[in-house]
Amino acid sequence: MSKQFDVLVVGGGPGGYVAAIRAAQLGFKTACCESNPYADPKGEPRLGGTCLNVGCIPSKALLHTSHVFEEAAHGFEAQGISVGTPKIDVAKMIGRKNGIVDQLTGGIKGLFKKNKVTQLNGHGSFVKQVADGWEMKVGEETVVAKQVIVATGSKARHLEGIPVDNKLVCDNVGALDIDAVPKKLAIIGAGVIGLEMGSVWRRLGADVTILEAMPEFLAAADQDIAKEAFKLLTKQGLKINLGVKIGDVKVGKKSVSLAYTDKDGAEQKLDADRLIVSVGRVPNTDGLNAAAVGLKLNERGMIEVDDHCRTNLPGVWAVGDVVRGPMLAHKAMEEAVMVAEVMAGQAGHCNFDTVPWIIYTAPEIAWVGKTEQQLKAEGVAYKAGKIPFAFNGRAMGMAAPEGFVKMLADAKTDRILGVHIIGASASELVAEAVVTMEFGGASEDLARICHGHPTMSEAVHEAALACDKRPLHA
């Protein structure tokens, strides 16, 4: 007899585990299957997906440790603190990171128990449509579910001719487990992973060179922000070469040699003792048996969905990295909640225009809404307010005067269209902009809100005032 559920969620990442919890909270008999190789102490696949196991959480743990290390090495003295030359114990740093992963992935197991979600261990795939839903295979078991939510996420894109062993040549999995500070680290791709992981190992002493195909740096970001980020990150010592074309990559026993053509067309060579390949991610639809049941994918291999994450098959939904839109954990979680609520007959909602982007370099980079170049391309009349953190007392006190807040508002209606921040705590500051935009707020609304003093958030306040050309402290 097959196991019967109202809802089967395939994949236990932020999209999957959140969908399962919310569906169970709404009264559905719910199971979630997961098949990753990151076994927990009981030998079961760990919940949490890419985000908790080999993504957001471990990378932020390493970013924190390396930031504190760099502060101790270069930031303390100016504040009158002498600690001598700091040393890094890489094994301890990785152990701390693994401990956080253990704790958080185990926590999701606890949340499943609390919310009565059944965890199934095994790879999920479609078998066929049946009278009361879908017959699915999970490992060796057969499961019938009235509704299925596919949340199978994504995996690192690799490049032809560059075999990833996650020792010498790493994708995100190996990059988070490097066991000693490389002398020379090469990175292909100056995107989010390249900049975050490049920052980690540079701070710890590696000579880091990033090779990026695009001639523009951080093309998706507001170009004011991208220019400032390029200036600050290269000043810190990251070598970022834009507009390159990767040629032959020779992988030896202990080193890697990369040939590439630089932006001026000259042939160059780069030797490194580690290589990270971070050139984007591809959706995970392997072994789902999608074609056999007619589950439609788009030209990029993502499962095709509508605004409410319905696929072309009845009772089959898909959320997170496996569908269109930014590959971000919070976007996956928003979609997950929306799907569970729509399944329950509620008005599920996901506003894709207010999904924030955050890059956890130092300074941090965060934005929400449209960039200035997008508004120009769309012919939207806008006004801008830009305030440097150098005018902010808290930023000065925190020894973090770098960066700025830039607000873009509609020239006629004053509605905020985009907020772009580069500076310490940008990841937290952007939340205020998200809330204001979610409620259709104007720059005048933010300008009239009392902000605590001294706080970094005063720069957001001043940027709103600057939209009306009346900043008080700039």
Q: According to CB under 6 A, which residues from 357 to 376 bind ligand NAI?
A: 358-360
Among 10, 73, 190, 460, interactor with ligand NAI by CB under 6 A: 190
Q: Does 283 bind ligand FAD (CB under 6 A)?
A: no
Least distance from ligand FAD to the Cβ atom of residue 466, Å:
29
Least distance from ligand NAI to the Cβ atom of residue 460, Å:
20
46 vs 53: CA distance, rounded Å: 8
**What single-letter DSSP state applies at residue 472?**
S
Q: According to CB under 6 A, which residues from 285 to 344 bind ligand FAD?
A: 287-288, 320-322, 327-330, 332
Among 100, 159, 251, 380, interactor with ligand NAI by CB under 6 A: 159
CB 121 within 8 A of CB 45: yes
Q: Does 189 bind ligand FAD (CB under 6 A)?
A: no
Phi and psi torsions of 415, nearest 5°: -60, 135
Determine the interface stretch with ligand NAI among 78-86, 199-207, 299-307, 352-360 (rule: CB under 6 A): 352-360
Q: Does 66 bind ligand FAD (CB under 6 A)?
A: no
Of the candidates 74, 349, 453, 473, the residue annotated as catalytic is: 453
Determine the interface stretch with ligand FAD among 10-18, 266-274, 306-314, 448-456 (rule: CB under 6 A): 10-18
Among 21, 24, 34, 238, interactor with ligand FAD by CB under 6 A: 34
Q: Does 436 bind ligand FAD (CB under 6 A)?
A: no
Binding at 279: pick from ligand NAI, ligand FAD, none (beta carbon under 5-8 Å per type) = ligand NAI
Phi and psi torsions of 110, nearest 5°: -60, -40
User: Cα 466 vs. chain centroid, distance in angstroms?
Assistant: 30
CB 32 within 8 A of CB 148: no
Is residue 308 part of the annotated active site? The answer reads: no
Q: Does 123 bind ligand FAD (CB under 6 A)?
A: yes
Q: What angle do CA 409, 429, 324 make, to 5 degrees?
A: 70
Least distance from ligand NAI to the Cβ atom of residue 16, Å:
17
- Residues 307-326, mask of contacts with ligand NAI (x by CB under 6 A): -------------------x
- Among 284, 282, 280, 255, CA closest to 269: 255
Determine the interface stretch with ligand FAD among 32-40, 85-93, 229-237, 362-370 (rule: CB under 6 A): 32-40
Q: Is the peptide bond before 86 cis (omega within 30 degrees of 0)?
A: no
**What single-letter DSSP state applies at residue 178?**
-
- The secondary structure of 210-273 as a DSSP string is EE-SSSSSSTTS-HHHHHHHHHHHHHHT-EEE-S-EEEEEEE-SS-EEEEEE-TTS-EEEEEES
Q: According to CB under 6 A, which residues from 256 to 285 bind ligand NAI?
A: 278-281
Binding at 246: pick from ligand FAD, ligand NAI, none (beta carbon under 5-8 Å per type) = ligand NAI
- Which residues lie closer than 8 Å to 376 by C-beta, 6 or more apart? none
User: Cα 43 vs. chain centroid, distance in angstroms?
Assistant: 27
Binding at 36: pick from ligand NAI, ligand FAD, none (beta carbon under 5-8 Å per type) = ligand FAD
Please tell me the count of residues contacting ligand NAI according to CB under 6 A: 24
CB 348 within 8 A of CB 333: no
Residue of minimal Cβ distance to ligand NAI: 191
Strand bridging mode 357-359 / 184-188: unpaired
- Which residues lie closer than 8 Å to 52 by C-beta, 6 or more apart? 13, 14, 46, 101, 104, 105, 108
Among 5, 8, 9, 15, interactor with ligand FAD by CB under 6 A: 15
Active site residues: 453
From the annotation, which residues make up the binding site? 60, 124, 152-154, 189-196, 212, 280, 321, 327-330
From the annotation, which residues make up the binding site for NAD(+)? 189-196, 212, 280
